[in-house]
Amino acid sequence: MTGRGDSVAEDAPLPSHLAHARRTYVLDTNVLLYDPNALFVFDEHDVVIPMTVIEEIDRFKKDVNETGRNARSVSRHLDALRARGSLREGVELPGSGRLRVESLMRDEEIGWVGSSNDNRILQVVRRLHASLNGAVALVTRDTNMRLKCDALGVATEDYRHARLDVDEQYTGARYEVVDDALVGRVLEGEAVDGLVGADLLPNQFLVLTSDVDPKKTAMLRFKRGKLRPVARFRDGVFGLNARNREQLFALDLLLDDDVPLVTLSGLAGGGKTLLAVACGLQRVVEDQAYRKMLISRPIFPLGRDIGFLPGDVEQKLNPWMKPIMDNLELLFTRERGARTRGGHDTKLSQLVERRVIEVEPLTYIRGRSIPNQWLIVDEAQNLTPHEIKTVLTRAGERTKVILTGDPQQIDNPYVDGLSNGLTYTIERFKDAELAGHITMRKGERSELAELAARVM
C-alpha cells in the first residue's frame, strides 16, 4: 500500500510481479472494530467487505463501549457509500479505489471444518485469490487468520495504519559518559548547549556521567532549545520524594505548566500513577493552580471477569477505581503524617464531596470539555489511538493531561505493544514542545514487585 494506508506485509506477501499493481484488500472484522476509518486508507486499491463481516459488525453495534461506537461508525460509513451506488457492484472511494460487499458462495473444493465466520471470510478471500490471479490480500489483526491464509497460499497483512514501525521505542532520556571536566562545568552552572545536546528532542532528558567518577553526574532537560538543570525537589511533592532519576525526571515534567501533555510508561510499581496523583494534589489542592483533578481509567478486567456487580453506578465502579483511591489515601496519609491518623480521611472525603477530586471511568469522557483541570488517564496502554485522540481533544484551556501505563500489561484484545494508544502517543508527540515523556526503568513498590516485573 501507499500513502495513508501504508501496511507492511507479514507471513504470505503478494507475488513480486504484483507488488506495485492495483490490488484488492479484504478487511476482517477486527480491523474495522479497531479503526472504522480503515475503509478509506487503502488509496488506489480496491476494498472488499465480506457479508460475514457486516453480520459480525451488527452484533457489536449495541455495545456501550468503544467497540460498539466503532461498529456503528462502520455501519454509517457503509450506508453513506450505499447512497452513492451499489455496494454489490462497487462504490468509488476518495483515493480512486472501489469498495464492494462480497456475499458468500460456498466453496466445495476444500473440506472446511465447521462453518465459523472466520472460515466464511477465508472462503471469500480464496475465491477472490483465484479470480484475481493472486492480486488480493486479507487484512486482519488475527494471528490465526494469517496462519490459515499462509496455509492456503493467500497473501495476508496485519493492519499497520495505526501501528508504529520503530526500531527502538522512545524513552525520554539519554545517558552519556563524557569528560570529567565537562560534567564539572555543567554542575557549576555553565551553559554547554553548543557542546552537547544538539540532536536532543524537545523535553528530552540528558544524564552526563563523568568518565572518571561514575557517581559524578549532571542531569539536564532540553527545553525550548536550551539545556536546563533538572530540579531536585528535595522537600518532596505532597509528602512524596523521588527514589530514582526517572522519578525525578517525571516530577520535573509534571510540575512544569509549559508541558500540557506528559506520558509515563514503564515497569509495574515504577510510581507512574502515584507521582501523577501526588503532583496533581500539589498543584490542585495546595497551589490551587488548577480547578480540579480528574482521574480516569478504562474498564478492563485482569483475567476472568466476575460478571455483573450489584448496586448503583458508584458501587459498580468502586472495584475498578479502587487502585486510584488507594493512591489518594496513601498520599494524604504521608503528607498529613503529623496530624491524627483519621485526619487524612476527612480531608480526602471533603475534597471528593466538593468535586475538587473526581474519579470516574473513561467511558464518560466523550463529548465533554475539560478546561483548567489536571487530567490523569491511568492504564492508558489499554486504549486505542482513536480513544487517546478523543481524550486529548477534550482538553480545554490550561488543562494538563497525564497518560500513564505499562505497554507490557495489555488487557485489551484489540491492541498490542506497538498499536496501543499510549505507545502511539509517545512516538507521535516526541517532537512536540508541548509534550514530554519518561520511561520508568526501575520498580519501587517493593523488591519482590520489581523482581516479578523483570523476570516473569
Domain range list for the chain: 3-157, 165-230, 235-455
pLDDT at position 18: 45
Contacts 24+ apart (CB under 8 A), 13-16: 13/155, 14/134, 14/135, 14/137, 14/155, 15/134, 15/155
Rounded distance between C-alpha atoms, residue 79 and residue 74, angstroms: 9
* Closest C-alpha among 337, 359, 363 to residue 349: 359
Orientation of helix 272-281 relative to helix 245-254, angle to 10°: 40
pLDDT at position 147: 77
pLDDT for 86-145, tens place per residue? Answer: 898 899 998 889 999 987 655 444 445 556 888 889 888 988 988 888 889 999 988 788
Q: Strand order of the sheet with strand 91-92?
A: 9-10, 155-157, 136-139, 24-27, 46-50, 98-102, 91-92
* Closest C-alpha among 222, 205, 217, 226 to residue 177: 217
Rounded distance between C-alpha atoms, residue 278 and residue 293, angstroms: 11
C-alpha cell at 298: 478504562
Binned at pLDDT 50, 70 and 90, residue 8 comes out as: very low
Q: Please give the CATH superfamily to which domain 235-455 belongs.
A: P-loop containing nucleotide triphosphate hydrolases (3.40.50.300)
Binned at pLDDT 50, 70 and 90, residue 194 comes out as: low
For residues 91 and 82, the answer to whether their CB atoms sit within 8 Å is yes
pLDDT at position 301: 45
Query: At 228, which amino acid appears?
Result: R
Instruction: Determine which of 79-93, 265-279, 300-314 has the lowest per-residue pLDDT on average.
Output: 300-314
* Closest C-alpha among 227, 221, 214 to residue 251: 221
Rounded distance between C-alpha atoms, residue 248 and residue 432, angstroms: 21
Class for domain 3-157, per CATH?
Answer: alpha beta
Which has the higher per-residue pLDDT, 325 or 357? Answer: 357
For residues 146 and 11, the answer to whether their CB atoms sit within 8 Å is yes
pLDDT at position 456: 65
Mean pLDDT of the region 418-431: 92
The pTM of the full predicted model, rounded to 2 decimals, is 0.72
Specify the residue for cell string 493492519: 159
For residues 445 and 272, the answer to whether their CB atoms sit within 8 Å is no
